[in-house]
Amino acid sequence: MFRRKRKASDFSSEMEAHIQLETDRLREQGVSEREARAAARRAFGNVTQAQERFYESGRWLFWDDLGQDLRFAFRMLHKSPGFAAVAVVTLAVAIGANAVVFSALDAFVLRPLNVPQSESLYGLQFGGGHRGALSYPNYVDFRDRNRSFDGLATYQMTRVGLGTGNNSTRAWLYEVSGNYFDVLKLQPYLGGFFHSSDEHGAGSAPYIVLSYAYWHGHFQDDPGVVGRRAEVNKKPYTIIGVAPPEFRGTFLLLSPDFFVPMVSIEDEEALNRRAGWWIFETIGHLKAGVTPAEAAADLSAIGDYLQNTYPKDVGKMNVSLDHAGLYGDTFGRPIRGFVAALMLLAGLILLAACANLGSLFAARAADRSREVALRLALGAGRLRILRQLFTEALVISLTGGAVGIVGGMLLLRRLIAWNPFPQFPTNVPLNPDANVYAVAALLAFVSGILFGAVPVRQVLDTDPYEIVKSGSVTKLGRRLTFREMLVALQIAICALLVTSSMVAVRGLVRSLDSDFGFEPKGVMLADTDLAMAGYPDDAVPAMQERMIEQMQAIPGVTAVGLANCPPLAGCGASRASIFADETADLRPSNVAASTMMYQVSPEFFVAAGTPLLAGRALTWHDDKNAPRVAVINETFARKLFGSQTNALGRYYKTWNGTRVQVVGIVRDGKYANLTEEPQAAMFMPLLQSPSSQTYLVIRSDSNPQQLSGAIRSRLRDLDSGLPAFIQTWPKEMDFFLFGARMATVALGVLGALGAILSITGIFGMAAYSVSRRLRELGIRMALGAEWKEVLGAALGRALKLLAFGSTAGLLLGILASRVLASIVYQATPRDPLVLSGVVLAMALLGLVATWIPAQRALSIDPARLLREE
Amino acid sequence: MSTQEERERLELLQGTLDLLILRTLIFGAQHGQGIARAIQQTSDDELLVEHGALYPALQRLEERGWISAKWGISSNNRKARFYSLTASGRKQLGKETTKWKRLTAAIGRILESEGG
């Protein structure tokens, strides 16, 4: 096993020396040179035998054999480069896919956050619709009253205008509690962090900590940035430090450009209001020895205390903990589910590849049965021959694995650089680490062993005398069944993937055309926030009216609406609790419904294309001096008033007790995502509930490129310090289709891989079957068989397998579509197009795979064949 | 010399070659040919040692650490690999010799009692 202690050449020279010495001795006794040498050799005995015994006495035989096996394996593979290439590519694809998917698993599930001791870092979830969100006073109570955490930090993602020098850009920040960096146990890369001791009420601690990426990208790694002034929404701040490079915030899906203390940016009212849930997530490290369950009980007790103390403002909280990074079940569950499903599929692909290669290997072993028989007859051990086969399998699998890893890493590098949503700095750390390489190497090794093992029985059962004598291997024919099962299995897997991807594609296409309750096509959204440009609240409505006027003046524009945040846009609309008009006690347990809340201009419904079903739309006369009114949707009307007709003119109360009259009813729509159930929504007039967050909804006939240019220039004319983001509404909706798109693309890719594998599998089997039965087919043809009969005999089994596997896969695919429906809106297998598409695809696949073997079978020349055999 | 070749000599018993090699080396380092020659001479040419068979035995002893080897120059200026006894080899020789003596004595007693 280990290093050879002594070289064979050393041993040979010792033997030569021996013979020389003996010859010398004999010469001294007077014997002639020739005779002396002969005698010395005689006395020595069998030189070769001595050498062989020396050779075998060593423990290095294993490595020697391995070297021999490797050389032989390379020679054999070199002789059949086609086979080697197919095998290597097949495996490379399968292992590359696994490496990529495993990287995602690694990034999202195995090591979610890149902070010290991330395993004890938990995020709080409060149950109900509010997920992890809290109000600031509630956060402070949780922070100060709990006994389970080494500090609790909280953060909220906000988009702001960041001014450095004289230009203003939009940037994402985390507004965080003062203890944020200390709770996360982070050290600054440059400068310093702020701490809880810096917080002295609203407006204090105007400090900025830049993320490393933002510093690198916008400040060109300038260390002089520390101490520089900057403006956040026109308020003066000081940059005090840069966060470490590997830290990208505590929510994987959104990495901030910089961090500021929450107290510095929020006003008195926000920091003191106990009702509401506006802070995104609260996180902390569990104290040593405290289990998540104990901590959750501790926090729930605090929740109960808050509910009892502030019954008007605080509802029931069922606190649970989840590892920080993916915001609990909200994002964690679908992402984990998706990645797990991908991993499963990638595993199936690899299994299919192994099955395929196994059958190719078996076919090869059978083709080589003469060679194997010859080696057996010459006295080679069966074990030695098996070792040779395994060596070949491993050479292929490890080469394939290496190619796959390299390919996978190239793909990953592109994925990391890819930012699907330009307005969000998503930054998923898909960095391959040692785990990924180890897993890929392990997979390569295991698959080598797996498919290398397929022909084992074949070799063990080889009867050298029979084969060498007759030259035929008809006896092996029966043994094909196992291989056939493997091929059938991968056809089924392929059909499953093809079905799922077609269902997904159809679902996606349908969801693009479906009824959203508004018409996104032909609408441009211009998204800005007047607070970013430093407008005081009372100046906002006038500015917004001017913006609308300016947009209406653009040629080709048919309608302009304005909303704080339109449905299905990346801004994340607010929700509000409402009460029935009769309710006097506005405690959380008396809430009548939780609804989506939009603040809109009168023309919003026209611009968005939302049909008004009853009553009137809002007008510019619904202002501060007029009675409070709202337009609601069908679900709202049904939930609160029983029916549409009932709802018109009726009143309800908002969270602070204001009575609002229903003046109009609009069609239900999709609001937060595409797969949601119908939910209640209300639209408040902009002048009665103003918002500095501004989305201009601009419907027009002109082309988007031109329009966005015109919009931009007019906005600049209005206020050059107002950063805006302009894109079409369908593009904005990509955010909600992202999951579905990813699922579709992934399934499509996997389906294509599956198809490639199935084609090679069927091809291998069919080709094998034809070459095995050449003689029989030749005889049949000589006896006058029709081409149909010949093809039936040659390919019948392959085609039967194809039909059987496809059917099984299709059925499985239909079952799997239920799972898919949760990711892709309107995914259903009950679709004639999907069913016929799958059948057609599988038939095509069969045709492609059997084409060459069929040609070969039909071109048999019986006379020549019989002569040769 | 031809007479020597034709004389009928005793074949070595299994396992005795190791003992003879160790014994030969007690007088100092020696190369393979020297060991073969010494065994033959000391036994008055009674023992048949196929020189080639010596080497696997030497190899074995070297691996066990009872002898060590290094290349040197023979008395007639030839390159040769010289073997010498190690401390553990010396101990082993003592053990083997005792064992051998007890064995031959026992066998001798049996043969004599049968013959007598």
* Cα A210 from Cα A257, distance rounded (Å): 6
Residue of chain A whose alpha carbon sits nearest to that of B40: A43
* Cα A95 from Cα A407, distance rounded (Å): 9
Contact A77, A395 (CB under 8 A): yes
Contact A699, A557 (CB under 8 A): yes
Candidates A370, A733, A775; CA nearest to A566 is A733
* Chain B contact for A9 (CB, 8 A cutoff): no
Distance from chain centroid for Cα B37: 10
- Give the model's pLDDT for residue A175: 92
- Give the model's pLDDT for residue A469: 59
Of A21, A50, A54, the CB nearest to B33: A21
Per-residue tokens: A399: 């080469």
Residue of chain A whose alpha carbon sits nearest to that of B48: A43
**Tell me, what amino acid is at A462?**
T
B71: which strand partners?
A: B81
* B contacts of A50 (beta carbons < 8 Å): 52-53, 55-56
* Predicted confidence (pLDDT) at residue A228 exceeds the cutoff of 50: yes
Count how many pairs of residues, chain A against chain B, have C-beta atoms within 8 Å: 69
Tell me which of A326 and A568 has the higher pLDDT.
A568
Please state, in angstroms and as integers, the Cα–Cα distance from residue A442 to each residue in A5, A391, A397, A439, A640, following that order.
32, 16, 10, 5, 60
pLDDT band (50, 70, 90) for residue A2 = very low
* Predicted confidence (pLDDT) at residue B87 exceeds the cutoff of 70: yes
What percentage of chain A carries pLDDT values higher than 70?
90
Residue of chain B whose alpha carbon sits nearest to that of A52: B56
**Tell me, what amino acid is at A733?**
M
Candidates A799, A791, A797; CA nearest to A859 is A791
* Chain B contact for A46 (CB, 8 A cutoff): yes
Of A13, A31, A47, the CB nearest to B1: A31
B24: domain CATH number? 1.10.10.10
Candidates A106, A48, A5; CA nearest to A439 is A106
Cβ of B59 and A54 within 8 Å? yes
- Give the model's pLDDT for residue A422: 61
Contact B71, B80 (CB under 8 A): yes
The contacts of residue A620 (CB under 8 Å, 6+ apart) are A602, A687
* Cα A329 from Cα A129, distance rounded (Å): 12
The sign one gets for the Cα dihedral A60, A64, A67, A72 is: negative
Strands of the B79-85 sheet, one edge to the other: B30-31, B79-85, B67-73
* Predicted confidence (pLDDT) at residue A479 exceeds the cutoff of 90: no
Residue of chain A whose alpha carbon sits nearest to that of B51: A44
Find the Cα–Cα–Cα–Cα dihedral A61, A62, A63, A69, rounded to 10°: 110
Largest Cα–Cα separation, chain B: 54
Candidates A103, A97, A111, A1; CA nearest to A58 is A1
* Cα A630 from Cα A653, distance rounded (Å): 11
- Give the model's pLDDT for residue A834: 83
**Distance from A63 to chain B by nearest Cα, in Å?**
19
A208: which strand partners?
A: A239
* B contacts of A49 (beta carbons < 8 Å): 52
Of B5, B52, B74, the CB nearest to A21: B74
**Tell me, what amino acid is at A505?**
V
pLDDT band (50, 70, 90) for residue A812 = confident
Find the Cα–Cα–Cα–Cα dihedral A451, A453, A458, A462, rounded to 10°: 130
* Cα B104 from Cα A293, distance rounded (Å): 81
Would you say how long chain B is, in residues?
A: 116
Cβ of A44 and B5 within 8 Å? no
Candidates A861, A807, A475, A516; CA nearest to A673 is A516
Could you count the other beta carbons within 10 Å of the beta carbon of residue A666? Answer: 26
pLDDT band (50, 70, 90) for residue A557 = very high
A598: which strand partners?
A: A683
* Chain B contact for A613 (CB, 8 A cutoff): no
* Predicted confidence (pLDDT) at residue A95 exceeds the cutoff of 90: no
Find the Cα–Cα–Cα–Cα dihedral A636, A641, A642, A644, rounded to 10°: -70
* Chain B contact for A59 (CB, 8 A cutoff): no
Residue of chain B whose alpha carbon sits nearest to that of A10: B81
Per-residue tokens: B30: 């020696």
pLDDT digits 0-9 by tens, A719-743: 877 878 888 888 888 777 777 777 7
* A contacts of B37 (beta carbons < 8 Å): 25
pLDDT band (50, 70, 90) for residue A699 = very high
Q: What share of chain A is helix, strand, coil (3-state, %, to 5)?
A: 55, 15, 30
- Provide the residue range defining the domain that includes B92: 2-115
pLDDT digits 0-9 by tens, A312-324: 888 888 888 888 7
* Chain B contact for A25 (CB, 8 A cutoff): yes
- Give the model's pLDDT for residue B91: 92
* Chain B contact for A15 (CB, 8 A cutoff): yes
Contact A631, A618 (CB under 8 A): yes
* A contacts of B81 (beta carbons < 8 Å): 14, 17
Candidates A511, A510, A507, A517; CA nearest to A567 is A517
Per-residue tokens: B91: 């101990």
* B contacts of A39 (beta carbons < 8 Å): 1
Location of structure tokens 């992890």: A132
* Cα A227 from Cα A217, distance rounded (Å): 18
**Tell me, what amino acid is at A595?**
T
The upper half-sphere exposure of residue B34, i.e. CA atoms within 13 Å in the direction of its Cβ, equals: 21
- Give the model's pLDDT for residue A3: 43
Disruptive mutation site among A31, A32, A44 for chain B (greatest number of B CBs within 10 Å)? A44
Residue of chain A whose alpha carbon sits nearest to that of B71: A14
Candidates A681, A660, A655; CA nearest to A669 is A681
Per-residue tokens: A500: 């799922």
How many domains in chain B?
1
- Give the model's pLDDT for residue B3: 40
Distance from chain centroid for Cα A606: 38
* Mean local confidence (pLDDT), A6-24: 83
* Predicted confidence (pLDDT) at residue B2 exceeds the cutoff of 50: no
- Give residue limits of the domains in chain A: 8-59, 118-325, 332-420+428-512+737-868, 523-700
Cβ of B56 and A26 within 8 Å? no
**Tell me, what amino acid is at A444?**
A
* Chain A contact for B52 (CB, 8 A cutoff): yes
* Predicted confidence (pLDDT) at residue A561 exceeds the cutoff of 90: yes
Candidates A622, A639, A559, A632; CA nearest to A598 is A632
Three-class secondary structure of residue A579 per DSSP: strand
- Give the model's pLDDT for residue A56: 63
* A contacts of B34 (beta carbons < 8 Å): 21
* Chain A contact for B64 (CB, 8 A cutoff): no
* Chain B contact for A224 (CB, 8 A cutoff): no
Where would I find the H helices in A310-463?
328-367, 369-377, 382-417, 434-452, 456-460
Residue of chain B whose alpha carbon sits nearest to that of A27: B1
Residue of chain B whose alpha carbon sits nearest to that of A56: B56
What phi and psi, each to the nearest 5 degrees, are found at residue A255?
-100, 130
* Mean local confidence (pLDDT), A353-369: 74
* Chain B contact for A60 (CB, 8 A cutoff): no
Lowest mean pLDDT among A241-245, A455-459, B14-18, B92-96: A455-459
- Give the model's pLDDT for residue B13: 67
The sign one gets for the Cα dihedral A558, A560, A561, A564 is: positive
Of B5, B59, B78, the CB nearest to A21: B78
**Tell me, what amino acid is at A229?**
R
* Mean local confidence (pLDDT), A486-501: 83
* A contacts of B78 (beta carbons < 8 Å): 17, 20-21, 24
Residue of chain A whose alpha carbon sits nearest to that of B80: A17
DSSP secondary structure, A103-149, as one string: HHHIIIIIS---STTGGGEEEEE-SGGGTT-B-HHHHHHHHHH-SSE
- Give the model's pLDDT for residue B12: 64
* Predicted confidence (pLDDT) at residue B1 exceeds the cutoff of 60: no
The upper half-sphere exposure of residue A438, i.e. CA atoms within 13 Å in the direction of its Cβ, equals: 4
Cβ of B5 and A42 within 8 Å? yes
pLDDT digits 0-9 by tens, A400-442: 889 988 888 888 777 776 666 666 666 666 666 777 888 888 8
Lowest mean pLDDT among A89-93, A372-376, A546-550, A862-866: A862-866
* B contacts of A5 (beta carbons < 8 Å): 63
Three-class secondary structure of residue A655 per DSSP: coil
A159: which strand partners?
A: A172
Tell me which of A552 and B63 has the higher pLDDT.
A552
- Give the model's pLDDT for residue A421: 64
Of B52, B60, B80, the CB nearest to A21: B80
* Chain A contact for B34 (CB, 8 A cutoff): yes
* Cα A503 from Cα A392, distance rounded (Å): 40
* Chain B contact for A186 (CB, 8 A cutoff): no
Would you say how long chain A is, in residues?
A: 869
Per-residue tokens: A527: 């998204």
* Cα A274 from Cα A311, distance rounded (Å): 11
* Chain B contact for A17 (CB, 8 A cutoff): yes
Distance from chain centroid for Cα A697: 32
Of A13, A25, A57, the CB nearest to B59: A57
* Cα A36 from Cα A640, distance rounded (Å): 121
pLDDT digits 0-9 by tens, A130-158: 677 888 888 999 899 988 899 899 998 88
* B contacts of A47 (beta carbons < 8 Å): 52
Of A6, A11, A24, the CB nearest to B76: A24
Element (H, E) at A154: strand A149-164
* Predicted confidence (pLDDT) at residue A193 exceeds the cutoff of 90: yes
Of B32, B56, B76, the CB nearest to A53: B56
- Give the model's pLDDT for residue B5: 44
**Distance from A67 to chain B by nearest Cα, in Å?**
24
* Chain A contact for B75 (CB, 8 A cutoff): no
Q: What is the mean pLDDT of chain A?
A: 82
Distance from chain centroid for Cα A315: 36
* Predicted confidence (pLDDT) at residue A600 exceeds the cutoff of 50: yes
* Cα A638 from Cα A647, distance rounded (Å): 8
Cβ of B63 and A49 within 8 Å? no
* Predicted confidence (pLDDT) at residue A791 exceeds the cutoff of 80: yes
pLDDT digits 0-9 by tens, A294-311: 988 998 898 889 888 988
Residue of chain B whose alpha carbon sits nearest to that of A18: B33
Cβ of A47 and B52 within 8 Å? yes
Tell me which of A550 and A781 has the higher pLDDT.
A550
Angle between helices A81-105 and A61-79 (to 10 degrees): 110
Tell me which of A436 and A215 has the higher pLDDT.
A215
Phi-psi map region of A669: left, alpha, beta (phi>0 left; psi -120 to 50 alpha) = beta
Cβ of A42 and B50 within 8 Å? no
* Chain A contact for B9 (CB, 8 A cutoff): no
* Cα A240 from Cα A264, distance rounded (Å): 14
Query: Any idea what the Cα angle at residue A170 is, between residues A209 and A669, rounded to 5°?
Result: 120
**Distance from B29 to chain A by nearest Cα, in Å?**
15
Contact A714, A666 (CB under 8 A): no
Cβ of A50 and B53 within 8 Å? yes
The upper half-sphere exposure of residue B43, i.e. CA atoms within 13 Å in the direction of its Cβ, equals: 19
* Chain A contact for B26 (CB, 8 A cutoff): no
The upper half-sphere exposure of residue B49, i.e. CA atoms within 13 Å in the direction of its Cβ, equals: 27
